[in-house]
């Protein structure tokens, strides 16, 4: 369905007259999604004055929908059971991910992380999108979950985080308690299935090209340059 990344790459710069749309499927509880977010940002920054203007929209994807809101145990406990791996292997995996995250400027703290169901966090992200603060909330939720040990599955905690990025706390609570955005979350997940997305992060550029995983910064720079060129030609 999607074009291969390598064949998109061309070492040219372009001036784009309208934003490039980037749709991102991710889950707040996905460590690679936060890393991928940073790598995309780094890819844009690396282009300097040649960086195209982009419009980013996050879409919901639950990696472990059967997770209870109040999971009892550590991240190691969850992954060992969920993936059927010995704890020593899970410890190695988490150490590797934390090392990659550190290179991206992220300080993951698995000792304080509170594993939880992320459905309500996704509902809140849809609420934030409606109020123009989805990107700010996405960053806040990732940081709260991976570095601060906040419980992003509970409504009270989510309302506090929403208020921190400028959202109305009472309106956020009403949106979560009413489950007003639950259908929007499920629509995102269904669309991911239509696209054949089985894991996240997954980036879709201009509705045409898909990039799977937390690719290196330079890959995002190259893809952005290529897509910008095609986009500029289309609107010329």
pLDDT of residue 232: 65
- Residue 116 included in any domain: no
User: Is the pLDDT higher at 14 or at 231?
Assistant: 231
Report if residue 217 sits inside a domain. Answer: yes
Residue 5 lies in a domain: yes
Q: Examine residue 212 and state whether it is found in any structural domain, yes or no.
A: yes
Q: What are the tens digits of pLDDT across the range 105-156?
A: 999 999 999 999 999 999 999 999 999 999 999 999 999 999 999 999 999 9
Q: Is residue 172 part of a domain?
A: no
- pTM tops 0.85, yes or no: yes
Is 19 a member of any domain?
A: yes
Of the two residues 14 and 71, the one the predictor is more confident about is 71
- pLDDT at position 1: 34
| 131 found inside a domain | no
Mean pLDDT across 176-187? 98
Candidates 24, 30, 172; CA nearest to 113 is 30
What are the φ and ψ backbone dihedral angles of 54, each rounded to 5 degrees?
-130, 155
pLDDT at position 235: 47
Instruction: Give the chain's domain count.
Output: 1
Instruction: Return mean pLDDT, the chain.
Output: 91
Residue 23 three-state SS: strand
Which residues constitute the domain of residue 11? 1-61+197-236
- Supply the pLDDT for residue 172: 98
What is the separation, in whole angstroms, between the first and last Cα of the chain? 26
Residue 236: the pLDDT is 45
Tens-place pLDDT, residues 208-221: 899 999 999 999 99
Do 36 and 203 contact (CB within 8 A), yes or no? yes
**94 inside domain:** no
In this predicted model, what pLDDT tens digit does every residue of 15-60 receive, in sequence order? 435 899 999 999 999 999 999 999 999 999 999 999 999 999 999 9
Domain of residue 218, CATH code: 3.40.30.10
Q: Which residue has the tokens 């609570």?
A: 173
How much of the chain exceeds pLDDT 70, in percent? 90
Residue range 55-104, pLDDT digits in tens: 999 999 999 999 999 999 999 999 998 888 899 999 999 999 999 999 99
């Amino acid at each position: 369905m999607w074009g291969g990344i390598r064949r998109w790459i061309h070492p040219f710069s372009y001036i784009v007259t309208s934003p490039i749309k980037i749709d991102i499927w991710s889950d707040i509880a996905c460590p690679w999604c936060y890393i991928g977010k940073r790598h995309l940002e780094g890819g844009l920054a690396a282009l300097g004055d040649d960086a195209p203007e982009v419009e980013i929209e996050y879409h919901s994807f639950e990696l472990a929908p059967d997770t209870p809101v109040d999971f009892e145990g550590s991240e190691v406990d969850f992954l060992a059971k969920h993936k059927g791996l010995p704890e020593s292997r899970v410890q190695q995996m988490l150490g590797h991910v934390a090392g990659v995250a550190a290179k991206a400027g992220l300080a993951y703290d698995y000792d304080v992380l509170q594993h939880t169901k992320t459905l309500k966090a996704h509902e809140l992200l849809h609420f934030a999108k409606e109020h123009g603060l989805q990107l700010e909330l996405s960053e806040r939720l990732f940081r709260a979950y991976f570095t601060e040990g906040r419980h992003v599955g509970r409504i009270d905690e989510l309302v506090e985080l929403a208020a921190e990025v400028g959202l109305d706390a009472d309106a956020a609570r009403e949106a979560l308690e009413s489950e007003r955005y639950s259908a929007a979350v499920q629509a995102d997940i269904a669309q991911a299935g239509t696209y054949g997305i089985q894991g996240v992060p997954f980036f879709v550029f201009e509705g045409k090209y898909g990039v799977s995983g937390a690719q290196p910064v330079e890959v995002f720079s190259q893809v952005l340059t290529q897509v910008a060129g095609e986009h500029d030609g289309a609107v010329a």
